[in-house]
Homo-oligomer: A and B are copies of this chain.
Amino acid sequence: MDSDLTWSERRGELIHLSFMLTGRLRALMDQRAAELDLSPMQARALWVMQDPTPMGELAEKLHCDASNVTGIVDRLEDQGLMERVIDPDDRRRRNLVVTEEGRARSVSLRDRLHEGNPVLALTDDEVEVMLTLLGRMLEAPD
């Protein structure tokens, strides 16, 4: 069916454009993070964190191996932005807690991510539509 081919092509185009947007947003995030002395992964850790979060759970949220999280959290701890707290119920587990300073840094990052964000090109109505579509794309399990 011809129209089917067209739909397929449209989806291909959408996938391409979504990766182009991803590249832009990544560049924006990394640039703003660097202004705040945060490496890309440190920034993403602060971005996705909701304390308390065990190391392994943070690894999942960052889409990387658990062994990497050790170093990333080490450097965040060095900056006093995060703390490891041993879970009293399971002493193997380290619950990550964002410090007050870490939360302040996270808020600064969030504010800076508005400036120059491609999302600002949308009208208010389009923002609503986009929120709905993003919600549908993200509701599927990871």
Query: A residues touching B (Cβ–Cβ < 8 Å)?
Result: 7, 10-15, 17-27, 29-30, 44, 47-48, 61-63, 110, 113-114, 117-122, 124, 126-131, 133-140, 142
CB of B113 within 8 A of CB of A21, answer no
List of B residues within 8 angstroms of A127 by Cβ? 7, 10-11, 14
Whether B15 contacts A113 by the Cβ 8 Å rule is: yes
How many copies the complex holds: the figure is 2
Q: Which residues of B contact A129 (CB under 8 A)?
A: 129, 133
A18-B134 CB under 8 A given contacts A7-B124, A10-B127, A48-B23 = yes
B10 touches A135 (CB 8 A): no
Chain B nearest Cβ from A133, distance in angstroms: 6
